[in-house]
Amino acid sequence: MKYWRKPLDLAGIRIPHGIIHILQERCKGCGFCIEFCPRRVLVVSDTYNSKGYHPPVVTDSTGCVSCGLCEFLCPEFAIYREEEMLEVQSL
């Protein structure tokens, strides 16, 4: 993220970032999480789970803003996120 000037409180600003976990065996391949992720972080994987579905996979681990939509939409509770707060300087 670029600011046009350096904010005075820059040291105190934190940006949410999500680490996505996918429970492959729970997934039924509906694709809701892939379709509705606002950051296009997920895609269909090439692998199959034991039920014969393609679970999602994270393509860009830096892209997740931890909005929680994938977690909210998943009918199988197969995806969840761990939120961490990053300093602006580390982005």
| Minimum gap (Å) between residue 4 Cβ and ligand SF4 | 25
Task: Rule CB under 6 A: choose which of 28, 43, 57, 88 binds ligand SF4.
Answer: 28
What distance in Å separates the CA atoms of residue 57 and residue 67, rounded to the nearest whole number?
Answer: 17
Q: End-to-end alpha-carbon separation of the chain, Å?
A: 7
How many chain residues interact with ligand SF4 (CB under 6 A)?
A: 30
How many CB atoms are closer than 10 A to CB 53? 20
Under the binding rule (CB under 6 A), the answer on residue 15 touching ligand SF4 is no
Under the binding rule (CB under 6 A), the answer on residue 41 touching ligand SF4 is yes
